[in-house]
Amino acid sequence: MANVHIRPGWQLPEREVTPEGLWVNRREFVKKAGSGALVAAATLACGDGDGNGLGVVPDGHGPLDNIPDTPTANLYPEAPNDPRFTPGDRHNVVNPELDAASYNNFYEFGTDHGNVWRHVIPFEARPWSLTVSGLVDNPGTYDLVDLERRFQLQERIYRHRCVERWSVVIPWIGFPLRELLDYVGVQNLATHIAYITFHRPEQAVGQRTQTWYTWPYYEGLRIDEAYNDLAFVATGMYGHPLQKQNGAPIRLHMPWKYGYKSSKSIVELVVTDEQPRTFWNDLQPGEYGFYSNIDPDTPHPRWSQAEERIIGGDGWIPTLPFNGYGEYVADLYGGYVTPPGDVPHAN
């Protein structure tokens, strides 16, 4: 499977993001984006707060103070920008870190976007391991510290687009998913991967109180999607390991797909010859498809996907097919953005 590749590249117009100089100030509180109408519209994928388990926030503890301790922290400030999209190559602007740390979708810790950073404080995100099983030559449980040291960490600036119509641009740090797949030896019969997140209701208030959801969270990709060079394993951001509310200590990022395909705090990866079931598709198959490619011409059954609002910005901008990465992933889908039958159009 190591030969399944496409030509890489990432481009974002500068006018669509916040100036880079804003995010270096880690203590500047900024205005959160998203109106009440936007939050109210997002229904199942954006419900009411759970109202429980907020707990006591230590004095002086803010959204930027949820980085778990790790012996690999020194690797992150040195992670080089990928030369294909360094800050001088049209990726010279990103959101302030506080935007990314204070407005989050992480149902395991409740559905109030502005309080996730508080709910994650009890979560023990280190030490951590990743179990790989299924159609691989080297199944096993891998210590995250070993993976961080084995693969050359790099920085990639990607746009993250939520199905709820908000977006944010973050300098992620990690390594291509294909490198992990090559390392474990994906076998030729493999057609898909499934990835599963943690289940610790004693540490995660959303898992403890939202018992109608089928925890743990689970998602999947086709194997050629997983081998696409855009598919990224993120273990850090903004020059340091991931904040807990951003999916620490290890998550995926698929920048051409809606955010719920980029699972957080992953504990298991299964390589299989079947299309795996996925969390939101099982709950609402008429609203959340397996592929879930970002498509402005395929609305959610209850709201348009034609526009999005950048966290920390003003107003709305047009949403781009594949989130602007179509040149590099469109050939995976036979000329479609939303493959036939993946999710219905609004009535």
The pLDDT score that the predictor gives to residue 78 is: 96
Whether 5 is covered by a domain: the verdict is no
Q: What is the DSSP letter of 58?
A: P
Q: Evaluate whether 226 touches 178 at the Cβ level (below 8 Å).
A: yes
3-state secondary structure string, 60-115?
CCCCCCCCCCCCCHHHCCCCCECCCCCCCCCCCECCCHHHHHHCCCCHHHCCCHHH
Q: Check pLDDT > 80 for residue 125.
A: yes
Q: Evaluate whether 228 touches 193 at the Cβ level (below 8 Å).
A: no
Whether 90 is covered by a domain: the verdict is yes
Q: Check pLDDT > 50 for residue 245.
A: yes
**3-state DSSP assignment of residue 295:** coil
Q: Check pLDDT > 60 for residue 347.
A: no
What's the rounded Cα separation, in Å, for the pair 104 and 113? 5
Whether 341 is covered by a domain: the verdict is no
Phi, psi of 183 (to 5 degrees): -65, -40
The pTM score is 0.84
* Angular region, 238: left φ>0, alpha ψ -120 to 50, beta rest: left
What percent of the chain has pLDDT above 90?
73
CA 127 to chain centre: 21
H or E segment and range at residue 319: none
Q: Which range among 15-24, 74-83, 259-268 shows the weakest confidence by mean pLDDT?
A: 15-24
| Tokens representing residue 71 in the block | 């012996």
The top-scoring range by mean pLDDT among 3-12, 18-27, 193-202 is: 193-202
Whether 261 is covered by a domain: the verdict is yes
Residue 308: CB partners within 8 Å, gap ≥ 6? 161, 165, 166, 167, 316, 317, 319
The domain tally of the chain equals 1
The pLDDT score that the predictor gives to residue 294 is: 97
Summarize the confidence of residues 281-304 as an average pLDDT: 96
The pLDDT score that the predictor gives to residue 53 is: 53
Residue whose entry in the numeric block shows the structure tokens 């011409």: 297
The pLDDT score that the predictor gives to residue 85 is: 58
DSSP 243-293: PGGGTTT-EEE-TTB-GGGS-SSEEEEEEESSPPP-HHHHH-TTT--SS-B
Q: Check pLDDT > 60 for residue 37.
A: no
Q: Check pLDDT > 70 for residue 334.
A: yes
Whether 99 is covered by a domain: the verdict is yes
Summarize the confidence of residues 188-200 as an average pLDDT: 99
The pLDDT score that the predictor gives to residue 96 is: 94
Summarize the confidence of residues 79-92 as an average pLDDT: 59
With CA atoms as reference, report the closest residue to 139 among 190, 174, 198.
Answer: 190
Average pLDDT score over the chain: 85
Cβ-count burial of 157 within 10 angstroms (0-12 exposed, 13-18 middle, 19+ buried)?
Answer: buried
| Tokens representing residue 278 in the block | 């996925």
> How sure is the predictor about 343, in pLDDT bands with cuts at 50, 70 and 90?
confident
Q: Evaluate whether 174 touches 236 at the Cβ level (below 8 Å).
A: yes
DSSP 122-162: T----S-EEEEEESBSS-EEEEHHHHHHHS--EEEEEEEE-
The pLDDT score that the predictor gives to residue 214 is: 97
With CA atoms as reference, report the closest residue to 226 among 173, 275, 267.
Answer: 275
pLDDT tens, residue by residue, 62-72 = 999 999 999 99
Summarize the confidence of residues 162-167 as an average pLDDT: 96
Whether 292 is covered by a domain: the verdict is yes
Q: Evaluate whether 53 touches 109 at the Cβ level (below 8 Å).
A: no
Summarize the confidence of residues 98-119 as an average pLDDT: 98
Cβ-count burial of 243 within 10 angstroms (0-12 exposed, 13-18 middle, 19+ buried)?
Answer: buried
> How sure is the predictor about 313, in pLDDT bands with cuts at 50, 70 and 90?
confident
* Enclosing domain of residue 275: 14-332
Whether 337 is covered by a domain: the verdict is no
Q: Indicate which CATH number applies to the domain containing 176.
A: 3.90.420.10
Whether 64 is covered by a domain: the verdict is yes
